[in-house]
Structure 1
Amino acid sequence: MVNVSIARRYARALLDVAAEGQRIDAVAEQLLSFVTAFEKSRELSDVLLNPAYTRTQRSQVVEALMKMMGTVEPALANTLRLLVDRNRLIYLPDIARAYRDMADARSGRARGVVTSAAPMTPEALEALRKNLQQLTQRNVVLETRVDPSLLGGVSAQVGSVLYDGSVRTQLEQMRRELKQL
């Protein structure tokens, strides 16, 4: 089991340093890119996590990956080096999640997922985002998903709150009401 407090500690420290340079979002993007590369490449994950590789070999791989990414924020580069030195790269995905959550909280953002039966037009998505912003009083960043089983309408989850306007849910509600009669 991953130790969440370790991930939070590193994420908080990285956020504090990034905030000093007003680079919170830039660090978040680069951290996500690094984690994506880490998770997509089985070979990269093996080198970074397998104890058969030395700390020097891991460090060389991380440095090469940072060089491939281009200009890496100094705070992130130092954090990655520290994780290699302390053999804690396994926590990187959790650090990235904790960092994103802390950065969102600091900047008043809320993340949400919108699920629709068919792909939504950009205009409809923007109108939904504005409505959700009014409801939550936060800047809402939406991720979209398509689920044909909804039959129609949309459901949106922002944080722990679900706003369900799907046809499937409405039909289920009518079915329950008719059964009670």
Structure 2
Amino acid sequence: MKRSLTVAYKYAKALFLMTDESERDGILELLKASSEMFSDKKAREFLQDPTFPRSEAVKLILEFLEDVPEIFKNFVVILVEKKRLLYLPTITNAYEQILDESRSKIKVLVETAVALSNEELKLLEEFIERESGMRPLFQIQIKPELIAGMVVHFQDRVLDLSASGRLKRLEYGLK
């Protein structure tokens, strides 16, 4: 798994560096569409079949996407030739992360027992900005099993501020 993340990141970074700011959102959409197509098991098996000519695989992918810039066409050719189509979903995630970081944005997953008020969200936003130096893009999940509080995931950090997390830490401390 670690190798696939490294390989995917390198491809995503190369594609990012080869495009200018005006193209990057369009490239991300093309990557997402390609990943969607490749997530279908039958399509994936068909495109990875060693008896299926690589040039036909490229042609099939590009026909599915419509109106593709030259840089993306070349990218697809390289992925097919190097047998890296398997990494397409991971490349897409890495590209999106690189794009967000270039725009000083960070994805933050917030698991909370109850919906957050606007004031709580504002305080959390200020905290994330202070800690990471980036503007947070929140994904909020309501999880009643947390009892109260929240668990915040960003960068490589996890802040467990939930009642259930505190109870687990107390239980662990008593053992």
| TM-score above 0.5, yes or no | yes
1:106 aligned onto 2:102: yes
Give the conservation status (yes or no) of the 8 Å contact 1:26–1:73.
no
Partner of 2:125: 129
Partner of 1:14: 15
Amino acid of the structure 2 residue aligned with 1:108: S
C-alpha separation between the residues in 2 aligned to 1:109 and 1:160? 15
SS of equivalent to 2:22: coil
Partner of 1:57: 56
Partner of 1:163: 159
Alignment of 1:5-154 (within 5 A): 5-18=6-19, 20-39=20-39, 41-67=40-66, 71-118=67-114, 120=115, 123=118, 126-127=121-122, 128-154=124-150
Amino acid of the structure 2 residue aligned with 1:168: S
Q: Structure 1 residues 176 and 89 mapped into 2: Cα distance closer, same or farther (>3 Å)?
A: closer
Runs of 4+ in structure 1 deviating by more than 4 angstroms, as ranges, are: 1-5, 173-177
Instruction: Single out whichever of 85-94 and 44-53 deviates more from structure 2.
Output: 85-94
C-alpha separation between the residues in 2 aligned to 1:122 and 1:34? 37
C-alpha separation between the residues in 2 aligned to 1:115 and 1:51? 43
Q: Structure 1 residues 126 and 76 mapped into 2: Cα distance closer, same or farther (>3 Å)?
A: farther
Q: Structure 1 unaligned runs (5+)?
A: none
* 1:3, distance to aligned residue in structure 2 (A): 4.9
C-alpha separation between the residues in 1 aligned to 2:154 and 2:5? 23
Cα offsets for 1:113-141 (capped at 9, x unmatched): 111234x3684684233432233221112
TM-score relative to the length of structure 1: 0.76
Cα offsets for 1:61-97 (capped at 9, x unmatched): 2022212xxx444433331133224432122223223
Q: Structure 2 unaligned runs (5+)?
A: none
Give the conservation status (yes or no) of the 8 Å contact 2:112–2:141.
yes
| Aligned sequence identity (%) | 20
C-alpha separation between the residues in 2 aligned to 1:135 and 1:59? 43
* 1:25, distance to aligned residue in structure 2 (A): 3.2
* 1:159, distance to aligned residue in structure 2 (A): 0.9
Amino acid of the structure 2 residue aligned with 1:49: Q
Amino acid of the structure 1 residue aligned with 2:43: L
